[in-house]
Amino acid sequence: MAKNGQLMEAAILGNAPASKKPGCMKNVPGKGLVWLVILSFFTSTIISCAGVHPPKPKVVLPATSYPNSTTVAGVSVAAVLFDPNRDIYASPNDASQKRPDFNWFKAGVCPARLILENGSNNPIMIDPTQITCTDSAGVTYKPYDAREAGDAVVSSEAFNSYVRGAIAGAILGAAIGAGLGAAIGGVAGGGRWAARGAAIGAASGGTQGLVLGSVANRQAMEMRVRTVLMANHLQPKVLSKEMTHEGLVYFPAKDIKSIRLLLASEGGQDVLKLDIPVVMAPQEKVVREEEKLQESVPAQ
């Protein structure tokens, strides 16, 4: 068993062939750190699987407290567009940066969180197919349904790159913390993986909803993407007086300037039109930075 452990250590470090005798191995700086990291990983995994994590409190804020919001005839709606540097479910007063671990915009989809409140006296019907967005060129788009959004994501190069990193271990930092991700990347996978693992681990901690994490193979990651999109999708609903509702719609990755909702009264006799001017986060700048980082990461 001791011999097998030493051979495995040599294979991980890449400094000796698996058949080389332990006595002939050279001392490699950081060998003890590798085993400490691996032990910490398995310990963290066991602890995380053993207990049930308490849910995070769900704070309810008025739709009008969000920057991109509007009210028509007593009905209020707010829109929160995907921001690669901010949790889409964060409070508008939360200034901390909690990055999602995956750039959905770069993968061809712009998730938008819609928060609706019915302050009128009449029930209203929410139909996700009656929601559109308009970009800076004046072109209007319907949102993808969850299946179409999933197809767009898993066929993108951004997703392929993410899967390569997840399988190689670069996304481990997002699962159990930036320090451990950097340690594994720096010792076992090189400085490039360390930078990537540490950045993801440090920024994505505490985000909700749109987090993918790390899995063992592409098929499992595709399933994770589709599950996340379906679970958070805005559902059709009738809102009675003072009721609220929210969910995500998935627009194409465009420079969105406004979102329109058509809400029908119960029975469909009257239609309420709500237009929400929106300001997008600087997506292109972040995309370029990630592309630079990706160029330094070897393909698997």
CA 288/CA 106 separation, integer angstroms: 10
pLDDT value of position 138: 96
User: Is residue 94 over pLDDT 50?
Assistant: yes
Average pLDDT over residues 107-120: 96
> What are 246's strand-pairing partners?
115
Provide the domain count of the chain: 2
Residues 148 and 85 in one domain: yes
CA 8 to chain centre: 34
Do both 231 and 277 map to the same domain?
yes
First to last CA, the chain: 31
Residue 165 lies in a domain: no
Percent of the chain with pLDDT over 70: 58
39 with 85, same domain: the answer is no
Which domain covers residue 125, as residue numbers? 64-154+226-291
Pair type for strands 131-135 and 244-252: unpaired
**What's the CATH number where 97 sits?**
2.60.40
pLDDT at residue 265 in the model: 85
Q: How many helices (H) and strands (E) does the chain have?
A: 9, 10
User: What pLDDT, in 10s, does the model give residues 63-78?
Assistant: 999 999 999 999 999 9
Determine, yes or no, domain membership for 97.
Answer: yes
Report the alpha-carbon distance of residue 66 to residue 50 in Å, rounded. Answer: 38
Domain membership flag for residue 215: no
29 pLDDT higher than 90: no
In a domain, 130, yes or no: yes
pLDDT of residue 199: 46
Kindly give the interhelix angle for 191-204 and 283-295, rounded to the nearest 10 degrees: 150
Higher pLDDT, 100 or 112: 112
Helix pair angle (218-232, 146-154), 10° resolution: 150
Do 235 and 285 lie in one domain? The reply is yes
pLDDT at 291: 44
Closest Cα partner for 297 from 207, 192, 176, 187? 192
Q: Does the model's pTM come out above 0.85? A: no
Question: Taking residues 18-38, what's their average pLDDT?
Answer: 52
**Residue range 235-288, pLDDT digits in tens:** 999 999 999 999 999 999 999 999 999 999 877 788 999 999 999 887 654 444
Q: Do 71 and 121 lie in a common domain?
A: yes
Q: In this structure, are residues 72 and 273 in contact, taking their beta carbons and an 8 Å threshold?
A: yes
